[in-house]
Amino acid sequence: EAQVTQNPRYLITVTGKKLTVTCSQNMNHEYMSWYRQDPGLGLRQIYYSMNVEVTDKGDVPEGYKVSRKEKRNFPLILESPSPNQTSLYFCASTSGLGQDTQYFGPGTRLTVL
Amino acid sequence: AQSVTQPDIHITVSEGASLELRCNYSYGATPYLFWYVQSPGQGLQLLLKYFSGDTLVQGIKGFEAEFKRSQSSFNLRKPSVHWSDAAEYFCAVGARSNYQLIWGAGTKLIIKP
């Protein structure tokens, strides 16, 4: 089954404690991205990757890091989380340019205390 | 500036009634337009998309959308809603030349029994 998986689905942590949210897709997609979703703001792109070792900033990259060492995986790293990073995070992947469907993971709800 | 506006934060309709969700965009290039749905606790799923051709596009779950270039709109419609349609709906716009989408803030659909 074609899918994007994220782990963990829920995470409660404290300010400053480094964390990683994993994302993996089994569709051999080149393009992957991370979004955060906040009420009233819709989805905002954090980072994206157009292929292995190619990453770039989205609209709200501050406080986040990513890496793309393998095509299937695109982890999101919060080196020093802060309460304003409390949000719902989605990973997505697509095979083509703007016209292709994006496939979303189930989301990770992060709370930073 | 490029933007997507969904004017209605919430919409409440009775089960069996018709539905129209509004989406207006501002985009410099020829737009590719999408509607995604997010059911409670789930990731986002593509409902339909428009790239070119017939301006009335059919999607899954009985939804359709009409592209009106003169009004910069891409409104989503359904003739008769079901309780299972209760969800949040997102409009997004992209371009042929890139992977990134610009997202609206979403419209939450509430179904009255």
The per-residue pLDDT for range A46-105, each reduced to its tens digit, is: 999 989 999 999 989 999 999 999 999 999 999 999 999 999 999 999 886 656 788 999
Position B53 scores a pLDDT of 87
Nearest Cα residue in chain A from B4: A42
Position B104 scores a pLDDT of 93
Q: Who among B51, B98, B103 is closest to A43 (CB)? A: B103
Q: Who among A44, A97, A107 is closest to B98 (CB)? A: A97
Tokens of A14: 């404290």
Position A97 scores a pLDDT of 60
Query: Which residues of chain A make contact with B104, given a CB cutoff of 8 A?
Result: 42
What does each C-alpha distance from B42 to A80, B74, B80 come to in angstroms? Answer: 27, 24, 23
Q: Enumerate residue ranges in chain B where pLDDT < 50.
A: none
Task: Give tens-digit pLDDT for A22-57.
Answer: 999 999 999 999 999 998 888 999 999 989 999 999
